[in-house]
Amino acid sequence: MNLILFDLDHTLLNGDTQSEWGCYLADRGIISFEEYQKAMAVFDASYRRGALDIGALLEYQIAILKLHPLSKFHQWRKEFIEERIRPLLVKAGWEAIRKHQKRGDELILITATNSFLTVPIAELLGIPHLIASQEEYDEAGNLTGRFCGVPSYREGKVTRLQQWFQQQGRSREDYKKILFYSDSHNDIPLLSLVDEPIIVNPDAQLHEHALKNHWKIVDFGIKRA
């Protein structure tokens, strides 16, 4: 049995989950699109400089979930998944998932996006395991507005996968091979450790790195901005 890791945004999804969520909330009048766009532009600029504070980004995104009762956000999330996410899931991604399922492989969706948004996406895809950045809840089950643990971003994905092995009582030796599908240069730390990196419509930096390292590059029909 192989272990198969899938990134989400721009790999299985022809878009970005958090950006779609912000647009959805703005369209419903739940948040201001102008304020959201302005804040995200600052994070995007730091990302492009290679200086993104992932903790600050996560806390900004999670803080939005405290603007209304969590029960309301659960209702909106259900609608969001059907209206905005399902249409963006790419056919080639579905086919790759089903191929590995038929082979009896173990599948994990591993993403920097928060678990509030990605738990139902993993369920929709039929992927049984999820490694995502984790929002924090208090003892009453309410969001604190903070994240907890290690964000599953860059080297954090390596750490979180190691933690998953420990939690499951497993090790990489339990699998014949580990494969990882990803589009982003931010995933180079984990891509460099797996047995078979599979590069999906990569960004420019990852494309160059993949060519130098003779990594497999595949076309899922993802459109990059």
Number of domains in the chain: 1
* Structural domain contains residue 176: yes
Structural domain boundaries, residue 205: 3-218
First to last CA, the chain: 36
CATH number at residue 10: 3.40.50.1000
pLDDT at 140: 78
pLDDT band of 37, cuts 50, 70, 90: confident
CA–CA dist 127, 188 (Å, integer): 22
pLDDT at 225: 62
* Structural domain contains residue 198: yes
Catalytic residues: 7, 9
pTM here?
Answer: 0.93
* Structural domain contains residue 225: no
Residues 80-95: tens digit of each pLDDT: 999 999 999 999 999 9
* Structural domain contains residue 223: no
* Structural domain contains residue 224: no
Q: pLDDT exceeding 90 applies to what percent of the chain?
A: 71
Residues 123-132: tens digit of each pLDDT: 999 999 999 9
Mean pLDDT over 109-127 rounds to: 96
* Structural domain contains residue 67: yes
List C-alpha distances in Å: 164 to 24, 52, 171, 179, 218: 32, 25, 9, 16, 27
